[in-house]
Amino acid sequence: MASASSLAASVSPATSSDTVTRAELSEIDASTKAPAMYFLCSAILWLIIGTAFALISSFKMHKPELLGDIEWLTFGRARTAHLNAVIYGWSVNASFAVAMWLMARLARSVVRHSGILMLAGAFWNVGVTVGMYGILAGDATSIEWLEMPPYATPMLFIAYALIGAWAVITFRFGKSEHIYVSQWYILAALFWFPWLYSVAQIMLIFSPARGTVQALVNWWFAHNVLGLWFTPIGLAAVYYFLPKVLGKPIHSYYLSVLGFWSLAIFYNWAGVHHLIGGPVPAWVITAGIAASFMMVVPVVVTAINHHLTMIGSFQALKYSPTLRFIVFGAVNYTLSSLLGSLMADRGVSEVVHFTHAVVGHAHHGLYAFFSMVMFGSIYYILPRILHKEWPSARLISVHFWTCAIGITIYVIVTSIGGTKQGLEMNDASIPFMDVVRHTIVWLKLRSYAGVLITVGHVAFAINFAWMIFKPRADNTAPTLFAHPNPDLEISAR
């Protein structure tokens, strides 16, 4: 059967190359529709579930009697459920959807064997559901970021193997003559994650290492899941959507190369800095600190590349929902990474370790950077696979501002409150219970920030469901925050 692009070219010899390209992209987008919608619907369902557990656990920190009689909603289970729902439910499903769509588009290949993706999605979400049930039932492990009970993880392995096999097939049969920057990050992430997850599962769950090695492996895994899985997927999206929406190429190919390889070389050592002061060989800690500071190289290089791409186009932020989320996420990638390097300093770590500042830093990276980039990506992708526009620009605006303001407040109050908490804990003259009482005001502000973020997630979910069920209209003008200046070139959304 002839492809859409071939038909477009054969209808008229005068058919422009732009028309042929659009037909080809439309055909690729159509082939991604079923698996992308499956992963996106799953992601948003887990986002809402994870947000509910986040609010419960946050309010429990300053109001411990809240839902105190319900065993499965005690703080230890609710907070762990929140972490796993947003990491393995929301973030990974969103990663799969965005990475799959980008890989198909950049490889200029229709999705082959979409059944593999659907099967992988089923295994993954059943595995996460079983894992969540185990956590709430009290079967959670005590290992941070690997709390799901061992009987849930084999399904996640199977799912990931299927995703990886599909990505290799798509890349192998792609028609593109180039390997784009976004593809480097996606392919690397798809290889790095199973390496991290399998090593951590074997050395911590199935055949646990002894003593200090457990802590080393735990932080090697937990830190690298953010740096070698979510970060590459997020940066792949930024490198694609930033120039795509602006209608111009990324500023420098060579800066992209430097940013990618320096991330690959330095990041996998950086997690050890979380064990400063622990019973770990000094050279290991020193290597982790050195790698954390060397991370300034890829972060600054990437920030310069993104900023120089935006030069002359900042006014597009007034109109494009995708661009606004993507730029917010990219800026926070820079800020959270530089703060991460600062927190690797021994003197700083002595103060902020074991405080709420570390929690704020984790949210800075996973939410302010990664999740905001995923939101922006979804605002771009969904209209192309459904051939409909977002029904409400107002709901998109509510989503952006509540989440942007909410996470900004969250990071600021946990950073300030956590630093004060650390300074007081290091002062032997201050009783520990006084330190706890002094943190309550910061914890309340953190909960209020969480309420703002929840409002944004509800607005996003409503807009998403509305878009799915609304009939397709003839008017296909993109949903923007305002009508742009006719002289301004914005490719869409």
For the chain, what is the radius of gyration of the CA atoms? Answer: 23
Query: Among residues of the chain, what percentage have pLDDT more than 90?
Result: 65
- Is 127 a domain residue? yes
Query: First vs last Cα of the chain: how many Å apart?
Result: 33
Q: Is the pTM of this model over 0.95?
A: no
- Is 76 a domain residue? yes
- Is 234 a domain residue? no
CATH number of domain containing 119? 1.20.120
Please tell me the total count of domains within the chain.
1
Q: Please classify residue 147 by burial: count the beta carbons closer than 10 Å to its beta carbon, then call 0-12 exposed, 13-18 middle and 19+ buried.
A: buried
Q: Give the CA distances from residue 96 to residues 124, 273, 345, in Å, rounded to whole numbers and listed in that order.
A: 11, 29, 34
pLDDT in tens, 396-455: 999 999 999 999 999 999 999 999 999 999 999 999 999 999 999 999 999 999 999 999
**CA dihedral angle for residue 407, residue 411, residue 417, residue 421, rounded to 10 degrees:** 130
**374 closest CA partner among 231, 493, 267:** 231
- pLDDT for position 1: 44
- Is 20 a domain residue? no
pLDDT along the chain (493 residues), means of 10: 50 62 82 92 97 96 89 93 96 94 89 86 95 95 90 88 82 77 91 87 88 90 91 96 92 92 90 88 93 94 94 90 96 95 93 94 95 97 92 95 97 96 95 96 97 97 94 75 66 50
- Is 385 a domain residue? no
Q: Write out the H or E segment, with its range, that includes residue 264.
A: helix 253-270
**Full domain range(s) for residue 141:** 32-177
Conformational region of residue 247, where left means phi above 0, alpha means psi within -120 to 50, and beta covers everything else: left
- pLDDT for position 435: 96
- Is 116 a domain residue? yes
Q: Residue 261 and residue 45: Cα distance in Å, rounded? A: 35
